Structure 1
Amino acid sequence: MKISVIVPAHNEEEGLPATLRSLLAQTVPADEIIVVDDGSADRTGDVARSYGATVLRPPRNLGSKARAQNHALPRCRGDLVLAVDADTVLAPDYIERLAPAFDDPAVAIAAGNVQTRRTRTVWERGRSIEYLFGFHFHRPIQAGARSPMVCSGCCSAFRRDVLLAYGGFPERTIVEDMDLTWTAQIAGHQARYVGAAVAWAADPETLPYLRKQVRRWMAGFFQNVRLHLPRLLVRKPLLALWVCLAVLEILLAPLWWAAPVLLVHAWHVPLPEALAWWAATELLLLTPPLLYAARRRRIPYRQVLVNLPCVYATRAVNTYYAWRALITELLLAPLGLATPLTTYEKGRPDTRAPTEAGGEAVPR
């Protein structure tokens, strides 16, 4: 089974080498690596060529990851297409562990376990806790039910013929990975989570870029809810259940944040005691899966416990943008009272972005 790799890259001169080195170090090598130099103003194309990759450069910046991937898709010769972000590093055995999922002809899409590459700032530390919890608690449960909610776009593999049948990577929503994961399962194909295949993604280091990323993720989630939920309820009820539970969690999030205040004012519980009950309940739910995940990933327990408080900072950002997306994408946009999010912005600084006459960075 031949494997083609697509790496969409916009001004990724600094991060791209680590990604390409990880691809070249695979125990099961890819048959071709295609880097889409999507309107870069730096040496992205030269860097890719220096590692032996095939470089495609569109005549203009295409504006989103899905469009960049679709630009390369007709050139792919592999039976499988592995889409890798230009800031993601794969474990040496990533392809070796992921490819066997496609021995089952029903499987159309598969992805591995994503962890955070760096934990230097509060935002990266909070994201590391989210990933440890999500990929060692939620994903295994969903995988056991053969209905994963998303195959992460930074390191997912697809059958090329299925991709072509769907018209390529979907461009109708701002998050192509979730769109494709749901579309494939609605059509009767299977999506597979392979926990033993590990990838490390570069996550936002600062609050402004975390906000951009989370805004895109949450807007894309509700765009897909609006687009797919009725068919999910009929064709893939278990996946619809995970989606509905995620929406319910978002709806209840403000109540969770307000719980200490409610305990104080409604039940007259002393504030220190209310905070203690609130924190203890949360830790009781979070800590066991996190310690299990730390053991699986061979991460020191102390490191996980030190990073744990940071998850409340990222969770606050998640709550705000989830509610904003719910109102905009699920309620106002269908009524024509708001415009869905369509501008793709990276969750990291783009210091070399080309500028227009007005001096502002061209969005992608």
Structure 2
Amino acid sequence: MTTISAIVPAHNEEQGLGDTLESLLSQTHPFDEVIVVDDHSTDRTRQVALSYGVTVFTAETNQGSKARAQNYGLRYVWTDLVLPVDADTVLARDYVELILEPFENPRVAVAAGCVLTRFEDTAPERGRSIEYLFGFHFQRPIQNAANSPVVCSGCCSAFRTRELREFGGFPERTVVEDMDYTWSKQEEGRRAVYVGDAVAQAADPSTLTYLRKQVWRWMAGFFQNVRIHTLHLARHKPLLLLWILIAVWDIVTAPLWYAMPFLLIFVWNQGVMMTMLWWMGFELLLLTPPLFYGAHRRKIPYRVVMRNFPYVYLNKVVNTYYAWKALLVELVLVPLRLSKGLVTYEKGRA
């Protein structure tokens, strides 16, 4: 029987850690071990973890990033598979049971499930709920069907322990270790798999300040990986490179798309009403079917989706700004040695 451990990297996570551990300890297929890495916390993270009877290792100094904290715990893992879980993420009860299935194929190196938002109390959280619902019910299934997932989400991915160790552990050369490993393994001819039935709920940024920090890290990490992997992907995984280039194209053209109504109205003197109807109609035609499909599949009321829909444009503005910033910094300034790029890992929540 395949054995599996969970690693929970936790720095000052006393508030949400209990919910995460409860979800890990109530799986229909139990973990063989749950390890919490107390990453030099200054609050009661260690005490909370110990109260649940899990294994706790405390780092003498802060590791500086999630990847390093996970590598700190990886040395103690003895099971066939390891599943790192963010300390503010909750797994559905059957998550482990479902995530084990792809590993029956020896070519599979990493697998991850569907991520939904845990909270929808603030504008950034509501916007992120729409982003997740669209991405995990449109983009991910298509990529998975093409055997080219762009990323196995770091908050809930399962890995083959031995293979991960042979790789050198969770990659520390970029600020998004999940994407780095997903691309690296596919370059080697290994498989990454999206398991749509396995659901994890993640706590996302609740304020604009933390949304900006998280998106900057995600976008900088994406372009760090583009810089590192493009030639290898062109040689060994061109279909994955195609999805990545589509993402880059979306980033490059996003400002033009959102400026289009203003150009039509103020430059080409088109009617305001017809222009806005055309623009909004195209947006709804593109976004609505995947959102309603996702809502139906996850049993989310349609009214909740429509309530949250306008907030996605706040997130889109933040995404576009930091995507362009990351493109310029990581693909232009770093190669010219005018910048070191983003090297400091910052959390997306308080």
What TM-score range do you get, normalising by the shorter chain?
A: over 0.9
Does residue 137 (structure 1) correspond to residue 138 (structure 2)? The answer is yes
Aligned to 2:211: 210
Aligned to 1:358: none
User: What are the equivalent positions in structure 2 for 1:145-160 lying under 5 Å apart?
Assistant: 145-160=146-161
User: What are the equivalent positions in structure 2 for 1:14-33 lying under 5 Å apart?
Assistant: 14-33=15-34
CA distance in 2, matches of 1:347, 1:265: 38
| 1:195 match: secondary structure | strand
| 1:63 match: secondary structure | coil
Provide, for residues 86-115 of structure 1, a one-character-per-residue CA deviation record: whole Å limited to 9, x for no partner. Answer: 000000000001101100000000000000
Gaps of 5+ in 1: 350-364
User: What are the equivalent positions in structure 2 for 1:10-89 lying under 5 Å apart?
Assistant: 10-89=11-90
CA distance in 2, matches of 1:88, 1:156: 12
Provide, for residues 162-221 of structure 1, a one-character-per-residue CA deviation record: whole Å limited to 9, x for no partner. Answer: 101110000000000000000010011100000000000000000000000000000000
Letter in 2 for 1:106: R
CA distance in 1, matches of 2:174, 2:183: 12
Does residue 3 (structure 1) correspond to residue 13 (structure 2)? The answer is no
Does residue 166 (structure 1) correspond to residue 167 (structure 2)? The answer is yes
CA distance in 1, matches of 2:134, 2:207: 21
Letter in 2 for 1:234: R
Letter in 1 for 2:77: C
CA distance in 2, matches of 1:322, 1:80: 34
CA distance in 1, matches of 2:159, 2:284: 37
Letter in 2 for 1:34: I
Normalising by structure 1, report the TM-score: 0.95
Per mean C-alpha deviation after superposition, the further-off stretch among 156-165 and 262-271 is 262-271
- Percent of residue pairs identical: 62
CA distance in 2, matches of 1:8, 1:269: 54
CA distance in 2, matches of 1:167, 1:307: 41
Deviation, structure 1 residue 263 = 1.3
Provide, for residues 288-319 of structure 1, a one-character-per-residue CA deviation record: whole Å limited to 9, x for no partner. Answer: 11001000000000100111010000000000
Deviation, structure 1 residue 326 = 0.2
CA distance in 1, matches of 2:336, 2:243: 26
| 1:334 match: secondary structure | coil
| 1:241 match: secondary structure | helix
Aligned to 1:126: 127
CA distance in 2, matches of 1:127, 1:267: 34
Does residue 254 (structure 1) correspond to residue 252 (structure 2)? The answer is no
CA distance in 1, matches of 2:22, 2:91: 9
Equivalent residues, number: 349
Deviation, structure 1 residue 266 = 4.1
Letter in 1 for 2:197: A
Aligned to 2:325: 324
Per mean C-alpha deviation after superposition, the further-off stretch among 24-33 and 274-283 is 274-283
Letter in 1 for 2:304: Q
| 1:135 match: secondary structure | helix
Letter in 1 for 2:48: V
CA distance in 2, matches of 1:344, 1:272: 45
CA distance in 2, matches of 1:13, 1:293: 32
**Alignment RMSD:** 0.7
CA distance in 1, matches of 2:242, 2:250: 12
CA distance in 1, matches of 2:229, 2:95: 30
